Each structure stands twice: as C-alpha cells, then as structure tokens.
Structure 1
Amino acid sequence: MHERIKLDHAESLFYQHGFHAVGIKKVVSQANVSIMTLYNHFGSKEKLIVKILDQREIRYLDYLKSYLNDEAKRSKYKTARTIALAHMNWLKGNSNGCLFLRAKEEYGQINQDITNRVDTHKRSMLSFYKRLGFSEQEAMRLAIQIEGATALAETIEVQRVEEELVETLRLLFSK
C-alpha cells in the first residue's frame, strides 16, 4: 500500500506538471517519503515512471470495463459508443491529455524502457478492442477515433468532442 501511495502522488505530479518539470525531491516531498525509500522501491526516476504507467493502464482498463454490460455489447456500435463515452468521462476528470504520449514525448529519445512501455500500452488498447469483438481494422479505427478525441479535447470543449466522437462512431459501426 505504501508503494501505491507514492505512485499515486508521483503520477498526479507528473500528470499536472510534466515528467521533466518534476524532480525526485518534489515527488518524495509530496509522498512524504525519503529519497532512499523511493530509490529502494524503484531504482530510478525512469523506473518509477514505468511503474506509474503500468498502474495507470490497469486503472484505465478497469475503468473502461466498468462501463461494459450486456446491453453495451449488443452491437459493435453500442460497444464502441460505450467505450467512447467512458473514455470521454475519464478525460473530464483527467483533462491533461494522454499521460502515455506525454511520457513518450519527454523520454522518447532518451529512455527506451519508457518508449517501449508506451508502445505496449497502445498495442494493449488495440488488443482490448479486438477482445470486445472488433476486427483488426475496426480496432484500429476505434483507436484512431479515441486518440483523436483525446488530442482534440485539450483545445476544444470536451462535451463537443464527445458528441462528434459518438456521431463518428455511429457512422463507422452502425450498419
């Protein structure tokens, strides 16, 4: 549980301010732990970031799954719509874009472990969509819409992006 608290504090700081803008001293201060404790658990700031991304993926997938019920699985459109609405609801509480892409932007050229973790997450999302019954091509189309909505929601009002996302998914998946 102690490790979880440190991860939550660090994730929040990195999400709000960026990875490079937040130093380890700030992380340990906010988590109320010593630098040695942090390094004993994680080894480095970069390994801490990978663990944070691991935790975030689990939390995000659990969040999406919590919206899926039998009604949501009755058609590809309903499933895509449910996932999209859950994602947009997630964005309303996490309005700073995709933490994974932010990590890759800041560390892409300097840390392969972080880059690999981000790439794995994006592939995991495609696999998740395929497990819901979407073909490879449909999973890619859904991912493109979700990713695009995430980016657009940083500059356009989230509710408007949500409405257009749902309409686009209706056009893609209603037959």
Structure 2
Amino acid sequence: MDSKSQNILDNAETLFYQHGFHAVGIKKIVSQAKVSIMTLYNHFGSKENLIIQILDQREIRYMEYLKNALNDKRQQSKYETACTIALANTNWLKKNSQGCLFLRAKEEYDQVNPDIINRVDLHKRNMLSFYKQLGFSEQEAIRLAIQIEGAAALVETTEIETVEKELVETLNLLFNK
C-alpha cells in the first residue's frame, strides 16, 4: 500500500473510532489526511470501501497483537492460553478505549451495507477459527469468544481493571474445572 493510501486509512480510522462512522464525512477525512477528495476516491472508490479496508487493517493489527502475546509464552494449558488472550485483549482495550470498531461498524451499517456487515461477521468467524487453531474445541472457542466480547462491551461502562479481574476469574471457572 502506498503512503497516501496508508495516510488516509490511518486518519479515517482514528476519526471513525473517535466519532463513529456516520458522524465523520469525507470532507473531514480528507481535511485530516491533507489530501483531495479525488485522491480518496481514486484510492478507495467510496467511503464504504474505505471502511472495509480499515476493518481489514485493524484485524491484521489485532491478530498480530494477540499472536505476539502468545509467542512470548511457552506451551500453556488451555486456561493459560485463554488468560493470555484475555489479558492481551484487555491491554488492547486500554489503548483503544472506545470499544470494538467492528461491532460499532455493524451497529451503524446494519440493514444499510451488507458488505460492511459481512466483513464484521467474517472478523468474528476468524476469531473463532483462531481460537480453534490454538487447540480449543468449537464449544470452548465459543465460550472464550463470549467472554472476550463481553469484556469488550463491559469496559465501556465499567472500570477496565474490574472487568479484567473478573474475566480471568471466569476463565478459571471455565477452563480449570
């Protein structure tokens, strides 16, 4: 990806994350990125295509973040792996305190843009596949996803340290039977 495209993606992602997708118009994005409207459209074609590429980029970053957290650990039990993922997720949320960008996209584009909804759904399926690749059964992967997703939602209204502590305790109950 060239530097202009990356600049637009980075600026648009920041704006969307801070203000929401519908609240940010193309003019605000091009102003923030210091490019012309034609440059944005030449690189992305539409605001919706830009959003999909932002979600693609975000998933790559998030997955690399989780994999790096797991790479720092040697062979672990399922409980330890689940805790590593959970703690990496809460650390991600500490740096990205506006909640899940994917779920925000789904909320704003439900019944409006099936391509964006499909991209969000793909991300959630990719997360389940990732958990299964780590050795969790289908049922365990769903249980882990419920805990991770619930924590991401709860940090919007509850102190993150409390959520983190209770998340680890819940994983203990699920995986250290």
Query: What is the TM-score normalised by the length of structure 2?
Result: 0.96
Answer yes or no: is the 8 Å Cα contact 1:72–1:79 preserved in 2: no
Cα RMSD over matched residues?
Answer: 1.0
Q: Distance in 1 between matches of 2:45 and 2:71?
A: 40
Unaligned runs of 5+ in 2: none
Q: Distance in 1 between matches of 2:20 and 2:99?
A: 11
Structure 2 counterpart of 1:129: 131
For residue 62 of structure 1, give the secondary structure of its aligned residue in structure 2: helix
1:4 is displaced (CA, Å) by 1.3
For residue 71 of structure 1, give the secondary structure of its aligned residue in structure 2: coil
Structure 2 counterpart of 1:5: 7
After TM superposition, the structure 1 = structure 2 runs for residues 133-172 of structure 1, keeping only pairs within 5 Å, are 133-172=135-174
Q: Distance in 2 between matches of 1:28 and 1:57?
A: 23
- Name the aligned partner's letter for residue 158 of structure 1: I
Answer yes or no: is the 8 Å Cα contact 1:72–1:82 preserved in 2: no
1:2 is displaced (CA, Å) by 2.2
CA displacement 1:22-50 (0-9 Å, x = unmatched):
00000000011110000001000001000
Which of 77, 100, 103 aligns to 2:102? It is 100
Which 4+ stretches in 1 moved above 2 angstroms?
A: 69-73
Structure 2 counterpart of 1:31: 33
For residue 122 of structure 1, give the secondary structure of its aligned residue in structure 2: helix
Q: Percent identity?
A: 75
Unaligned runs of 5+ in 1: none
- Name the aligned partner's letter for residue 8 of structure 2: K
CA displacement 1:59-115 (0-9 Å, x = unmatched):
000001110137354100000000000000000011111100100110111100000
Answer yes or no: is the 8 Å Cα contact 1:145–1:165 preserved in 2: yes
Q: Distance in 1 between matches of 2:75 and 2:110?
A: 36
